[in-house]
């Protein structure tokens, strides 16, 4: 049954992504807010379809930790789910993502329209410079910045190598950091076709204000973030 439901959901997902991406692109001449409306609408439709077809619910904890000012979100990365859900979780933002995603027809064009920070992983120094320069500009303009510190998706129970680019950006821009954990990989696997019924739990951890980020030693703060995000992720995975 999960296989049949997943086949139906993936078909709906592809259809919704194509149609909404075209609407998002077409609305860009009317301003960013118009495009962002379609981005959030896409997220709402996909998550609604995920629950209706595959029986996957979403529960969000820690919403009280979201600050009232733009910040850097450092999130666990397990699947495509967090890409889908993020527009409904936080105010307007930009992703830091691999440039290859821009080459996906229609969907990649929509990412480009939304001003994603697209880096080349093969050029780490240039990528870091790009994140710091563009990210600071977006934060100053009132947009949040979402970074996956592992750089790539990890399976449940696993952890990638955390990178400090998000901390460097927050320190240079004078902003705080909002950590985010979740267990999406248990129900929407990173390379799996089948979506498994259950509850995806998202948890925002306590916000680290700009003053604390600026005063912290980069290595110590990175170790703290990794410990906190991974510990919370394991708790959520254990809860199913």
Q: Is residue 60 part of a domain?
A: yes
pLDDT of residue 191: 84
pLDDT of residue 115: 92
pLDDT of residue 48: 98
Q: CB–CB of 106/22 below 8 Å?
A: yes
Specify the number of domains making up the chain.
1
List the chain residues with pLDDT less than 70. Answer: none
Q: Is residue 44 part of a domain?
A: no
Q: Is residue 92 part of a domain?
A: yes
Distance of CA 80 to the CA centre of its chain: 9
Classify residue 31 as left (phi > 0), alpha (psi -120 to 50) or beta: left
Q: List alpha helices for the chain, DSSP H.
A: 2-27, 32-54, 81-89, 107-113, 124-140, 165-173, 210-215, 218-239
**The two three-digit tokens of residue 175, written as one number:** 């902003």
Q: Is residue 205 part of a domain?
A: yes
Q: Is residue 50 part of a domain?
A: no
pLDDT of residue 2: 87
Range of the domain at 142: 56-239
Q: Is residue 72 part of a domain?
A: yes
Q: CB–CB of 61/201 below 8 Å?
A: yes
pTM over the 0.75 mark: yes
Q: Is residue 223 part of a domain?
A: yes
Q: Is residue 51 part of a domain?
A: no
pLDDT of residue 121: 84
Tens digits of residue pLDDT in 64-103? 999 999 999 999 999 999 999 999 999 999 999 999 999 9
Q: In this structure, what CATH number is given to the domain that contains residue 115?
A: 3.40.1130.10
């Amino acid at each position: 049954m999960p296989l049949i439901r997943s086949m139906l959901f993936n078909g709906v997902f592809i259809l919704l992504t194509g149609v909404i991406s075209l609407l998002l692109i077409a609305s860009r001449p009317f301003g960013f807010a118009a495009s962002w409306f379609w981005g959030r609408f896409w997220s709402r439709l996909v998550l609604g379809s995920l629950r209706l077809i595959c029986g996957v619910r979403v529960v969000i904890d820690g919403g009280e930790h979201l600050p009232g000012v733009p910040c850097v979100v450092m999130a666990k990365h397990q699947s495509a789910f967090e890409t889908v859900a993020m527009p409904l979780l936080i105010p307007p933002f930009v992703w830091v993502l691999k440039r290859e995603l821009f080459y996906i027809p229609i969907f990649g064009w929509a990412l480009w329209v939304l001003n994603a920070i697209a880096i080349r992983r093969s050029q780490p120094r240039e990528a870091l410079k790009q994140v710091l320069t563009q990210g600071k500009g977006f934060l100053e303009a009132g947009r949040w910045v979402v970074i996956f510190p592992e750089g790539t998706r990890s399976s449940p129970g696993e952890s990638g190598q955390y990178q400090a680019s998000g901390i460097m950006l927050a320190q240079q821009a004078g902003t705080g950091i909002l950590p985010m954990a979740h267990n999406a990989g248990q129900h929407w696997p990173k390379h799996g076709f089948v979506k498994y019924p259950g509850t995806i739990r998202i948890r925002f951890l306590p916000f680290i204000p700009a003053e604390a980020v600026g005063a912290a030693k980069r290595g110590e703060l990175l170790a703290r973030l990794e410990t906190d995000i991974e510990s919370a992720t394991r708790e959520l995975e254990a809860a199913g």
